[in-house]
Structure 1
Amino acid sequence: MKNFVFALYGLLILLIFACSKTDHAQEIEQLIEDYRIQYAPDKRVAIWDIKVENDTLKGETDQLQAFESFLAQLEEIPQQFCSEVQVLPSVKLEGKTWAVVTISVANIRSQPKHSAELATQALMGTPLKVLKGDGSWYLVQTPDDYISWVDQAGIQLMTEQELENWYAQSKVVFTPLTGHAWAEPEQKEMVSDLVAGNILTVLSEKQNYLQVQLPDARKGWVPMDHLMSYEEWINSRETSNENLINTAKSMLGVPYLWGGTSIKGMDCSGFTKTIFYLNGQVIPRDASQQIHEGEEVDIEKNWQNLQVGDLLFFGEKATEDRKERVVHVGMWIGNNEFIHSRGRVRISSFDPQSPHYDEYELNRYLRTKRIVNQKSDGVLSVSEIIQPNKL
């Protein structure tokens, strides 16, 4: 009988301990979730992948200050936890925590393999924050904070000092939609193809050509009239009606490419992003992010309220049991018309008498936002991202 009582008592103690431990585990899991919601609600732009297993914290995050605050709050819980969480950038990078894109357009993917979904693109000369490596692939964060994977073949890894040295060099911007850097002036041995917005350093001049250097130290020659000094290019960028319309129409017919943000192919939000980038502004990557910027100017299809450059958003309206779903974006160009990438870059109209009438988009219209001349946390100037004080 005594043995039975001791056994029952021991079982009760185990149950109490297990219950207490479970309570603390649930408490820590809730704390993890609270921090995720506060500091990394959008996994496209922030990492908070943390979990608890057998009194051990595992996972990774790029939110250092938030993680330090989390650990301090964790100390208030009467249970010991050890941490195996990797704080990014990874120490395995050995200080090479920056990179610059070395090819005309780098494809940046959702997973570290070429067969993975294309998430976004970055142009030559774009600085990238490097978070960690996986073989020949690197998890990087673009200047608009988008996080995804790029093949090392398209970037030059750099330390912070090496990046500052690259910043300090005299630069030029390629201005036509497409072109090339040649091995010698007037010779057609190609060093690299180029697209509008590519940034290179300049070395010398010969026969109306400029010798340029790519971020990986390759050298080539580009016609002088295809280049503009970086300072002149930055100072001449303006989101005027004429500039926005001319830039957008110059890309008419460019094929739709999921994940594309360049003249080589673009999705709907990649198209609007490219229009604004070539006119000096950096806006968020996806339509579901762009819709949170700027000032709302219409939800009732009152087209007279719209101005050139306004962004029109399309999708599925919210219902009692479903959130609003934003799936498409285009830019207003006036005269009841907007330009967008669907299948190809095209012009659509809300005028039933127009040959470009687009009943499909009209039926899924959500709202219009204005980012031109509006203060918005997610909209930056190009000069804010291509300069040393961004470090």
Structure 2
Amino acid sequence: MRIIKYVLVIILFYSCSTIDKSSIELFQRLNDSIQSKYAPDKRVAIYDISLKNEGNTLVLKGETDKAVALEELKEKLVRNNINFEDRVVVLPDSSVGVFVAALANNSVSNLRAKGKHSAELVTQVILGTELKVLKKHGSFTLVQTPEKYIAWVDNGGITFLNKNEFKNWKDSELLIYTKNIGNSYQDNGFNRVLTDMVLGAKVKIIEELENSFKVEFPDGRNGFVKKEEAESYSKWLIHLKPSKELIESYAKSLLGSPYLWGGTSTKGMDCSGFVKTVYLMNGFVTPRDASQQILAGQVVDEDLKLKGLEKGDLMFFGSKATKDKKQRVTHVGIWLGNDRQEFIHSSRRVRINSMNPKSDIFDVWCSENYLGSRRYLDVEDKEFLKL
């Protein structure tokens, strides 16, 4: 009798283990499929879910900002008779409290790969940029930018807003800074600097004066901005007419600006940050990285012969696809549309180079690693926003 009991226990143990193993394998297939559907790019979506066997219970763990993806996963698990306990955290989580949004409070706020100052700089946001708050941890907060990029920002670089405060900001008359770089001041005589300012920065207008705007920063500081260096944001939008010429004008105004990995401002910018800045001032919120920007817009110059390109088109460079590996986009520039085959890009600094081997500014690497071009102007695409 005792031997029979032991045999039954062993059979039951291995039966449970087999069931749990098969359930976990099925989960992995379902989970991978849902992640590919809702969060294929970790830079713009969070989907980190696993199924753990804890005692006699299968437990869903992890976090996601895609509630619909989690619900689909749970439905499929139930449909496949997999019993589980749901412990997945859906972002924004409880750590954010009443804060639904944040505003960049510095001329440029740095966003990092992890919630610490020593982590890699992955992107930046300029003053007045609206951010979605996902979770807080210590002195850093995980946020999502208008182009959906997700990264950590030092709390000193942002101001948190509850629902009413965010609505108030959205309803306020705002100012946009239109000079490449400058200052705001503590006094209307422009004698005492309050902070530096960069192209595209936004603050709230309190009062329009003869030579200045009195403004309020996201954290409540008041200051003055020279009228010749700024404009009412609503009026700027009304008068904004994106064009090839305007793209060229803003791009060339940034010539000589320093290269900065992760940079997106006139203080310093990487190649895709340069594109992002130029197009922002033409009314576009573009994807952040070159490998994302190539997925937006209309394909031009399919044969890579530099035919059909127009001023303002984005040119992409990197490693070409082989039978063993996929194409890898690592660089982007803006075509200038002249008979010298010139383009402008941020590489070491913002500079102009040529695709023409006879030019004294010919760029060998770009010529050999050209992957194709995309057009954003006059194109409707869900991959970028228009202001």
TM interval, short-chain normalised:
over 0.9
Q: Provide the rounded CA distance (Å) in 2 between the counterparts of 1:259 and 1:299.
A: 29
Equivalent in the alignment of 1:366 = 371
Equivalent in the alignment of 1:129 = 132
Q: Provide the rounded CA distance (Å) in 2 between the counterparts of 1:310 and 1:62.
A: 33
C-alpha change, 1:60 and 1:241, in structure 2 (3 Å) is same
Q: 2:164 aligned to 142, 161, 165, which one?
A: 161
Contact residue 109 and residue 118 of structure 1 kept, 8 A: yes
Equivalent in the alignment of 1:222 = 225
After alignment, is 215-224 or 197-206 more displaced?
197-206
AA matched with 2:60: L
Contact residue 60 and residue 84 of structure 2 kept, 8 A: yes
The answer as to 2:6 corresponding to 1:7 is: yes
Tell me the SS of whatever aligns to 2:242: coil
Tell me the SS of whatever aligns to 1:186: coil
The answer as to 2:3 corresponding to 1:17 is: no
Contact residue 185 and residue 207 of structure 1 kept, 8 A: no
Identity %: 41
Q: Provide the rounded CA distance (Å) in 2 between the counterparts of 1:10 and 1:68.
A: 36
Equivalent in the alignment of 2:313 = 310
Contact residue 291 and residue 369 of structure 1 kept, 8 A: yes
Runs of 5+ in structure 2 lacking a partner? none
Contact residue 244 and residue 276 of structure 1 kept, 8 A: yes
Equivalent in the alignment of 1:351 = 356
Equivalent in the alignment of 1:294 = 297
Q: 1:98 aligned to 98, 101, 105, which one?
A: 101
Q: Provide the rounded CA distance (Å) in 2 between the counterparts of 1:12 and 1:62.
A: 41
Q: Provide the rounded CA distance (Å) in 2 between the counterparts of 1:98 and 1:57.
A: 28
The answer as to 2:44 corresponding to 1:51 is: no
After alignment, is 292-301 or 59-68 more displaced?
292-301
Runs of 5+ in structure 1 lacking a partner? 383-391
The answer as to 2:271 corresponding to 1:268 is: yes
Which 4+ residue blocks in structure 1 deviate beyond 6 angstroms? none
Q: Provide the rounded CA distance (Å) in 2 between the counterparts of 1:304 and 1:28.
A: 48
Which string of whole-angstrom CA distances, capped at 9 and with x for unpartnered residues, describes residues 11-54 of structure 1? 22321221111111111222221111111110100000011112
AA matched with 2:322: T
Q: Provide the rounded CA distance (Å) in 1 between the counterparts of 2:204 and 2:190.
A: 21
Tell me the SS of whatever aligns to 2:79: coil
AA matched with 1:132: K
The answer as to 2:70 corresponding to 1:67 is: yes
Note the C-alpha offset of 1:207.
4.7
Note the C-alpha offset of 1:103.
1.1
CA RMSD of aligned residues (A): 1.4
Contact residue 186 and residue 193 of structure 2 kept, 8 A: yes
* Number of matched pairs: 381
Note the C-alpha offset of 1:170.
1.4
Note the C-alpha offset of 1:8.
3.2
AA matched with 2:22: D
Q: Provide the rounded CA distance (Å) in 2 between the counterparts of 1:10 and 1:67.
A: 36
